[in-house]
Amino acid sequence: MTARAVWSGPVRALGRTEFIALMAMLTATVAFSIDAMLPALPEIGAELTPQALNRAQLILTSFVLGMGLGTFFTGALSDRFGRRPVMICGAVLYIAAAAAAWMAPSLELILAARLIQGLGASGPRVVAMAIVRDLTSGRDMARTLSFIMLVFALVPALAPTVGAGIIAAFGWRAIFVAFILFSAVSIAWLMIRQPETLPPARRRPLRWPLMAAALREMFAHPTVRLSLAVQTLTAATLFSVLSSTQQVFDVTYGRGGQFHLWFALIAVVAASASMLNARYVGVFGMRAMIRFVLAGQILVSSAMIAALLVPLPRDAEFAIYLVWTTSCFFQIGFTLGNLNALALEPLGHIAGLAASMLAALSTVGAVMIAAPVGLAFDGTPLPLAVSVLVCTALALWLATKIRRDSDPE
């Protein structure tokens, strides 16, 4: 295969079904890389950091941090060099980092490798959506994204079970081999079957001053600032819960062996939130939906804290924790998409660049909050529940201040 063929790929376009399947697999790289690791955390902690088991959680947040940092650049790079080159280079980086993590003898080296792995995963996260935008628009794009997200939503439900099976059969380090195989298959599929969707005539030069100007414009607009802050706090609750949930199931409630099954149930229930939001956002509006869900989360988190402070039978407490955890995942479907839409509304002339920066800033900011929350785990979910309550209350307060340009003074 010539160098030109590697970067440009085949000429013939994919059929709709195969295209959706390929884009879904590429975007699922992120979810698989996070959720399949969850069952491995106890063994990683026991082997590599037995004196501080909580540090094993950093394997999740280091990956998310790398992904957030990479999101700053992958969109602009794909606009300059094309979709396929950036996707392929990202996959190579991801695979190399996964191999380094597989062989790493210490937690610190694994964390460094996971950070780089996250940088590589930002390619599929951002560029797959750009490919969809290149080939579709309007309602056709919405339908395509709906199918992709439907497949994507199944990954968090299945990944922990897959991870648990791999660990049982081959040990926790084999998870990184699974990441290598997953990425290798998906990128080989793209290289063999998916043509380049951004021809040279439509490519734009890298102009870092434009990125700086876009950042200044974003932070100058109060709606964008507030939406970004609320999105960061909301994502922080998600990453905090995600980081600690395996330990809570295992250490607090002694249900580590069934964790992957409970997590699958939570993921399936939470996946319905996006569909409900799509149905009702046109009726009530984005801001009303955000405020309603955040207010509901404050009530549920308060009930969770009360249940932890008042002695209850362990099974009853676990049932409340299960409902609360599901609500934390559930609220994401009602908030992140709406917050993105509100933030991008006044930035239509730089929508692509702004979307990339919003995703990067909110992800990095959320990790900065979530990492210390995860490390505060004390054998109970109380520090986590208090942190979620504080973040949600602050997010609701900021959400009440969000205005749109069309609002009357």
The C-alpha atoms of residue 241 and residue 389 are separated, in whole angstroms, by: 12
* pLDDT bucket at 312, cuts 50 / 70 / 90: confident
pLDDT for the residue 87: 92
Mean pLDDT score, 262-274: 85
Whether the predicted pLDDT of 2 surpasses 60: no
pLDDT tens per residue across span 246-256: 999 999 999 98
**Is 275's pLDDT higher than 60?**
yes
Long-range contacts formed by 165-169: CB under 8 A, 24+ apart: 166/36, 167/39, 167/40, 167/43
* Greater pLDDT, 277 or 46: 46
How much is the average pLDDT of 382-400? 96
With 90 as the cut, is the pLDDT of residue 186 above it? yes
Task: Answer left, alpha or beta for residue 254, where phi above 0 means left and psi between -120 and 50 means alpha.
Answer: left
Range 211-215, long-range pairs (CB < 8 A, 24+ positions): 211/76, 211/353, 211/357, 214/350, 214/353, 214/354, 214/357, 215/357
> In this predicted model, what pLDDT tens digit does every residue of 61-83 receive, in sequence order?
999 999 999 988 888 888 888 88
Instruction: Give whole-number Cα distances, 114 to 46, 101, 119, 121, 183, in Å.
Output: 19, 7, 9, 10, 14
Question: Which of 267, 237, 213, 241 is closest to 362 using CA atoms?
Answer: 237
Q: What's the average model confidence in pLDDT over 96-118?
A: 96
Q: Looking at the predicted structure, is the pLDDT value of residue 12 above 90?
A: no
Q: What's the chain's length in residues?
A: 409
Give the single-character DSSP code of 401: T
pLDDT at 347: 72
State yes or no: pLDDT of 5 exceeds 60.
no
pTM above 0.95, yes or no: no
Which of 128-142, 154-168, 261-275, 316-330 shows the highest mean pLDDT? 316-330
Name the more confident of 280 and 48.
48
Q: Are 28 and 152 in contact (CB under 8 A)?
A: yes
pLDDT given for residue 234 in this prediction:
94
pLDDT tens readout for residues 333-343: 888 878 877 88
DSSP state of 376: T
Residue-level pLDDT at 349 = 65
pLDDT above 70: residue 9: no
- Torsion sign across C-alpha atoms 326, 331, 333, 336: negative
Question: What pLDDT, on a 0 to 100 scale, did the predictor assign at position 267?
Answer: 86
Buried/exposed 64-98: b ≥16 CB within 10 Å, e otherwise: bbbbbbbbbbbbbbbbebbbbbbbbbbbebbbebb
Q: Which amino acid is at 224?
A: V
pLDDT digits 0-9 by tens, 145-158: 667 766 766 788 88
Q: Which residue has the higher pLDDT, 353 or 316?
A: 316
Contacts for 401-408: CB closer than 8 Å, 24+ residues apart: 401/222, 401/226, 402/223, 402/226, 402/227, 402/230, 402/287, 402/290, 402/342, 403/222, 403/223, 404/223, 404/287, 404/342, 404/345, 405/223, 405/345, 405/346
Q: Is the pLDDT of residue 407 over 60?
A: no
Of 145 and 314, which is predicted with more confidence?
Answer: 314
What percent of the chain is modeled with pLDDT above 90? 51
Average pLDDT of the segment spanning 265-294 = 84
Banded pLDDT at 299 (limits 50, 70, 90): very high
Q: What is the pLDDT of residue 408?
A: 44
Mean pLDDT of 348-355: 68
pLDDT band (50, 70, 90) for residue 4: low
Domains annotated for the chain, with CATH where assigned, are 12-206 (1.20.1250.20), 207-409 (1.20.1250.20)
Give the model's pLDDT for residue 409. 41
Residue 352 pLDDT: 63
What digits encode the pLDDT tens for the residues 197-235? 888 888 877 777 877 887 888 888 898 899 999 999 999
Side-chain half-sphere exposure of 103, counting CA atoms within 13 A = 6
